[in-house]
Amino acid sequence: MNVTGHTRPGDQASPAQKPRKAASIRDVAQAAGVSYQTVSRVINQHPNVRGETRERVEAAIQTLGFRRNATAFALASGVTRSVTVLTSNTTLYGYAATLQGLEEEARAAGYSLGVKVLTPEADLGRTVSSAAADGGGLMIIGFDQLGAAALSRVPADLPCAAVVEAPPHGRTPPRPAVWADDREAARLATAYLLELGHRTVHYVAIPTSTGARRSAGPRAQGWRKALVAAGITPPELRGGKGWDVQAGYDEGRRLAADADVTAVLCGNDDLALGVLRALHHAGRQVPGDVSVIGFDDAPHSGFLTPSLTTVRMDFQGLGRDAFGLLRRQLESDYEPPAPTFEGTDLVVRESSARADIR
């Protein structure tokens, strides 16, 4: 069944309003009978302006609809107060929430925010320099290969901060960065499943920022660590190719076919939803037959049936804190506040249960 909608160009007839050149500081000055210098003082709230003069200028500003040209301001003053976010994605929950945290913080600090989406086709070097040319700071969401590659290409003299995957032990990212301790969170989630009596735990991975070495992702490492600590040989790592529900479904079908599988940890909630659906299609009950745990606690996860046990991540906190790291590079007198990142949190819901309750 097809229900078609339509698009209508609004008011096509009216031609684009003739872009009558915007009023400049000089136009205002002339209208107010002062020098353009005085206009500059008024719009910058300088104290040394006579009340009556100020009023005349403000009236002229109103009349002419004057708006200060932000480009000229930036060039002349040298202050930019802008930040460009480089990210490979804007809609996946983790990315969108990080972006939201960044945006809030930037807005509160009076920074304007630009977004450049990284794609495999685009020349990363060119993308980075065009972002740099826009002035201001660079903010990189480096959860994946594209983001990590962009981060490694940022010239050293550019103000830049990032949100990244937890780096390997003893290593630090090339630039100031924040990250959550995904490794420990995955270890605890896995340990929790083992405590529930499951003989082993399977893991459906998200792609990692290091690319080829799928096994190197921090969430995978934490999962493996918990198994090894319990004397269990980790089963083959699954997934690692996609972030979305369909990818989870595809892996879920394979897992569902294996009757020995009773516990599955997933790299994010979308993968978990796909696994849930595949298990349902295969006639396997959750949590009766199989326990499933996700990662991230996306907004809908608590309302699924069964509701999803998952590791809550404070992406907005990561975004906020990363912005603080950038701001410190941009404003010499800026004191970064205490980190706002709330850590991770295993949220137990209906999709996980003891292995023996079936």
| Region 214-253 residues binding its own copies, contact defined as CB under 8 A | 244-245, 249
| Region 40-69 residues binding its own copies, contact defined as CB under 8 A | 65, 67-69
Residue 35 binds to DNA (criterion: CB under 7 A): yes
Q: Which stretch binds its own copies (CB under 8 A): 45-53, 200-208, 230-238, 272-280?
A: 272-280
* Residue 26 interacts with which of its own copies, DNA, none, CB < 5 to 8 Å by class: DNA
**Per the structure block, which two tokens stand in for 89?**
């994605």
In terms of DSSP H, where are the helices of the chain? Answer: 25-32, 36-43, 51-64, 70-77, 93-108, 124-133, 145-152, 182-195, 218-229, 245-256, 269-281, 315-330
* Residue 50 interacts with which of DNA, its own copies, none, CB < 5 to 8 Å by class: DNA
Other beta carbons within 10 Å of 91: 7
Q: Closest approach of Cβ 53 to its own copies, in Å?
A: 23
| Region 85-114 residues binding its own copies, contact defined as CB under 8 A | 90-91, 93, 96-97, 99-100, 103-104, 107, 112-114
Other beta carbons within 10 Å of 187: 21
Q: How far apart are CA 138 and CA 210, in angstroms?
A: 21
| Region 54-113 residues binding DNA, contact defined as CB under 7 A | 54, 66-69, 72-73, 75-78
Angle of helix 218-229 relative to helix 182-195, nearest 10 degrees, comes to 40
Residue 283 binds to its own copies (criterion: CB under 8 A): no
Among 138, 149, 150, 185, binds its own copies (CB under 8 A): 185
Q: Which stretch binds its own copies (CB under 8 A): 32-40, 52-60, 185-193, 206-214?
A: 185-193
Residue 135 binds to its own copies (criterion: CB under 8 A): yes
* 74 vs 124, beta carbon nearer DNA: 74
CA distances to 100, 167, 184 from 141, rounded to whole Å, are: 12, 14, 21
Binding mask 5-34 for DNA (x = CB under 7 A): ----------------xx-xxx-------x
Chain centroid to CA 147: 11
Amino acid at 77: S
* Residue 62 interacts with which of DNA, its own copies, none, CB < 5 to 8 Å by class: none
Pairing of strands 309-312, 345-347: antiparallel
Residue 72 binds to its own copies (criterion: CB under 8 A): yes
Among 6, 18, 50, 169, binds DNA (CB under 7 A): 50
Backbone angles phi, psi at 69, to 5 degrees: -70, 110
Among 325, 349, 351, 355, binds its own copies (CB under 8 A): 325
CA distances to 22, 44, 61, 330 from 157, rounded to whole Å, are: 36, 30, 39, 12
Among 2, 19, 20, 43, binds DNA (CB under 7 A): 43
Backbone angles phi, psi at 256, to 5 degrees: -65, -25
Amino acid at 124: L
* 73 vs 232, beta carbon nearer DNA: 73
Longest CA–CA span in the chain (Å) reads: 87
Per the CB < 8 A criterion, the answer to whether 201 and 225 are in contact is no
Per the CB < 8 A criterion, the answer to whether 266 and 204 are in contact is yes
Q: Which stretch binds its own copies (CB under 8 A): 31-39, 253-261, 287-295, 315-323?
A: 315-323
* Residue 41 interacts with which of its own copies, DNA, none, CB < 5 to 8 Å by class: DNA
Per CB under 7 A, residues contacting DNA are 21-22, 24-26, 34-38, 40-41, 43-44, 47-50, 52-54, 66-69, 72-73, 75-78
